[in-house]
Amino acid sequence: MKNGASLIKSAVRALAKHPRMLVPLILCWLAYAPLVVAFRFHIDWGAYEQWMQILIAFSGVLLLSLAFAWSAFVLIELIRQIEMDEEPRLYQALAKAVANTIMALPIVLAWAVIWLLLLILEAIFSKKRSDDSDTAYNPENIAKTVAGYGQFSLSSAFFEALQKGVRMLAFLIFPAIAWERLGTFASIKKGLGIARTHKSEFAAGFVLTELAALIVFIPPAILFYISREFDVSFPDAVWFGTMIYCAFAWSFALFLEQMFVAELYLWHLIWEREVENAASEGRRKPHLVDVKRPSVMDGVADLYLTRLGETPAR
């Protein structure tokens, strides 16, 4: 838990120093928000046969998976630039992320399929109470939709946790493509292997990033609660302001997930190199905590502490 907390703290400090890291996630939100609003209010699902409903839902999920993957690759490239002692160049990262996303298409497609299956299972097992006031197309309900605010249930919380876990595993696989230039199956094996090898750190990151997301969404949750339980009518300007706040809160929460797994991957690479050095020198195998924890804040080009430092990433 302590190691996971250290990585989360490092991610927050990194964002304060390099706010440009949030740009691709804001761009993602600009795709995410209209899509979920359209799915919630503008698509008459009853007018379509079941197979067409699934196809429409999959199209939306695939689009979001591509957007999330692209934003993760932007961050991964920015980290590479910093950890190779280069000047961070956002435009270069944006362009390189497109190429890496294309390379990762099989993984993104698999992620989208799993995500869709989890959404279908959630719809089957979650019993949501219908409320006509929540279906009205108004600023308050739009704000609730983009904030992901709804009736709590254990089943929905369970499936949302599964979706988050799959998402973080996908983010953990992507550095293998961007940094090590591994193929699809080798990247999956490497990413899942890191999660298995450092499962306590991964689990801590899962819990702590979720806790951070809950904290940043407390202000809009309070507004929604007051409006619903006390029948308080806030002006539309409040809800538009809430949407803007949610854009940054949502982006920050996703940034923490991406930054956490990227630094965990880099930490693993440093640990791998130290394990090799220990074996060649006849020393005991070091634990993860025995090696330097990477941080974009420490001014050290950490990628040079790995095998990648011998041949700069392309």
Counts for the chain of helices (H) and strands (E), in that order: 12, 0
Question: Which of the pair, 230 or 309, is modelled with greater confidence?
Answer: 230
Percent of the chain with pLDDT over 70: 94
> Which tens digits make up the pLDDT trace of 57-109?
999 999 999 999 999 999 999 999 999 989 899 999 999 999 999 999 999 99
Q: What is the mean pLDDT of the chain?
A: 91
Q: Kindly report whether the global pTM for this prediction surpasses the value 0.75.
A: yes
Q: What region, left, alpha or beta, does residue 190 occupy, with left being phi > 0 and alpha being psi -120 to 50 degrees? A: alpha
Q: In the chain, which residue ranges form alpha helices assigned H by DSSP? A: 2-17, 23-37, 50-83, 90-103, 105-125, 132-135, 139-147, 154-178, 184-197, 199-216, 218-229, 236-281
Please tell me the predicted confidence (pLDDT) of residue 314: 43
CA 184/CA 180 separation, integer angstroms: 12
> Which tens digits make up the pLDDT trace of 214-231?
999 999 999 999 999 999
> Which tens digits make up the pLDDT trace of 114-145?
999 999 999 888 765 545 557 789 999 999 99
> Which tens digits make up the pLDDT trace of 8-27?
787 888 888 889 999 999 99
DSSP string, 212-269: HHHHHTHHHHHHHHHHHHS-----HHHHHHHHHHHHHHHHHHHHHHHHHHHHHHHHHH
Q: Which residue has the tokens 């591994």?
A: 182
CA 156/CA 261 separation, integer angstroms: 24
Please tell me the predicted confidence (pLDDT) of residue 310: 58
Amino acid symbol at 147: A
Please tell me the predicted confidence (pLDDT) of residue 49: 96
Tokens coding 86 = 């280069």
Please tell me the predicted confidence (pLDDT) of residue 65: 98
Q: Which residue has the tokens 């939100």?
A: 29
Q: Domain locations in the chain?
A: 2-310
Least confident of 49-58, 68-77, 143-152, 227-236: 143-152
